[in-house]
Structure 1
Amino acid sequence: MRAAFNKHVDAFLIAVQFFTTIPVRFKTYPATATQSIAPLYYPLVGVMIGMLLFAAASYLHTHTLLTSAIVVTLWAVITGGLHLDGVADSADGWMAGIGQREKTLAVMKDPLVGASGVLTLVLVLLLKFAAVVHLLEAGALFVLLLAPLVARTATLLLLATTPYVSPTGIASHTANQLPTRVATAVCGLILVMLISISPSVAILIGLSFWWLRRAMLRRLGGMTGDTAGALIEIIEVLFLVYFSVI
């Protein structure tokens, strides 16, 4: 019992270490079996991030524009810009790859950021900032709690349902050994929660996930770490925008 508990604690800490800049150290890095269940805790890490954003938005008593800028900045700092990097790399790959799988993957691996990547980053941050401004003015701070949760649930579902392109990729062994039944059950529970809050937003997020996953399958035949990161940022932005306009 104690060993099983420690395994899950370590799995949660791996998820925290991967998705945030919160310092997590291991004397001995957990075994592959523990790493394989870490994605199950991605939604919980999303809740943690959302709580930090909610707290910042609630207790900052400055102009709405400044508060929004601080919240978006905190959002990037908490995650270390990891997913923003995925957005930039994916955008460069999709534009420069001109429909070719190998060229797309090669461009995505290039550490340099191209014009498409920069433009996409600007648009993502601009949309996120504008949506946060609207939500603050509308008093809908609960959306900040939900956005990171929903986005990381989408990533869990992506891992559970989509092949990993590179067998030597950073998360390939995790994706291959993920307990998919448990993962889909977790995603199902969170989907039910989202439907109870806003059926229309739940439908739009579901359609957005389907379209993004389909694009990955058609171009790459699966997912990569970059496209998973891009999925998180895009779902977060769309979630904020959907709640702002509906």
Structure 2
Amino acid sequence: MSIPGHIRSFSHALQFLTRLPAPPIAVFDPAELSRASIWFPIVGAIVGVLVGGALWLGGMASPWIGAVLALTAWVLVTGGLHLDGLGDVADALGASHRSPDRFLEILRDPHVGAFGVMAISMQLMFKLVLLAGIAAIPAILPLMLIAAWARLGPAVWALAVPPLASGSGERFAKQLDPRMVAVQAAVLALLSVWLAPVLLSAVLVLPGIALYWRYRLGGVTGDCLGAGVEVSETILLLLFAARMA
């Protein structure tokens, strides 16, 4: 890929995953999303650095102020993209009674139900408490790794689990390169060994989420991928906070 192609691909990933300023893309091509996945962990690392910086800045006043600033930064930078997916999936799982057709029917409903509200509320609560628990230590680099691992997840899940229906999840899986995903995982694993060994657990967490989707639904959608990002972030954050405690 040429340098302009890489720049366009990075811009695509940055615009899709965050609300950060990026070079504009005149024409959106859904097929480019899977090609842009090469940048997903790097964009995740940027998100993690910003969240960690907010945690460190607010933590100078108190752990809870740091946690509030960090969580606010997390939501604002990502635009709540994955939280939206988590809420939609929670509603669909809660009312589908293990029927994939019913799951998809509820997933298409634009309204947020009780299960979605509970899932989003609990997710924000978990992250707030866990961020407060690590606010007293330098956590910028571990948070960088947590966010990067989580955004490697969609590529892993899209490769390991078939699409449940046509849509963003199916388009995302079309041009994924398993070799590139393996290289990205190896790089993150090496960084984890150096910076935060407990985060090597991501090599079990990400496949574990793939197994869940296979067992529970037999496939994934774009919302499933987004929900998986949120869940993997919280699991890794929990493991890191427990290890630091």
Contact 1:160 1:183 in 2 (8 A): no
Cα distance between partner residues in 2 of 1:159 and 1:11? 19
Q: Which residue does 2:37 correspond to in 1?
A: 39
Displacement of 1:185 after TM fit? 2.0
Three-state SS of the structure 2 residue aligned to 1:44 is helix
Please tell me whether residue 221 in structure 1 is matched to residue 189 in structure 2: no
Residues 91-129 of structure 1, C-alpha deviations (whole Å, 9 max, x = no match): 111111111111112112211111111111111111101
Contact 2:145 2:188 in 1 (8 A): no
Cα distance between partner residues in 1 of 2:29 and 2:116? 34
Matched AA of 2:47: I
Cα distance between partner residues in 1 of 2:154 and 2:41? 9
User: Compared with structure 1, are the counterparts of its residues 137 and 99 closer, same or farther at alpha carbon in structure 2 (3 Å cutoff)?
Assistant: same
TM-score by length of 1: 0.89
TM-score by length of 2: 0.90
Contact 1:157 1:187 in 2 (8 A): no
Residues 1-246 of structure 1 aligned to structure 2 (within 5 Å): 4-24=2-22, 25-29=24-28, 32=31, 34-60=32-58, 61-167=60-166, 169-203=167-201, 205-246=202-243
Displacement of 1:184 after TM fit? 2.2
User: Compared with structure 1, are the counterparts of its residues 107 and 8 closer, same or farther at alpha carbon in structure 2 (3 Å cutoff)?
Assistant: same
RMSD of Structure 2 on Structure 1 (CA):
2.0
Query: For structure 1, which segment, 74-83 or 48-57, has the greater mean C-alpha deviation from structure 2 after superposition?
Result: 48-57
Cα distance between partner residues in 2 of 1:238 and 1:143? 13
Matched AA of 2:34: S
Cα distance between partner residues in 2 of 1:42 and 1:135? 25
Cα distance between partner residues in 1 of 2:180 and 2:188? 13
Displacement of 1:74 after TM fit? 1.1
Displacement of 1:69 after TM fit? 0.7
Contact 1:163 1:221 in 2 (8 A): yes
Contact 2:152 2:181 in 1 (8 A): no
Displacement of 1:140 after TM fit? 3.6
Identical aligned pairs, as a percentage?
A: 27
Q: Can you give the 5+ residue segments of structure 2 that lack an aligned partner in the other structure?
A: none
Matched AA of 1:202: L
Matched AA of 2:173: A
Query: For structure 1, which segment, 15-24 or 81-90, has the greater mean C-alpha deviation from structure 2 after superposition?
Result: 15-24
Q: How many residues align?
A: 241
Displacement of 1:144 after TM fit? 2.0
Three-state SS of the structure 2 residue aligned to 1:241 is helix
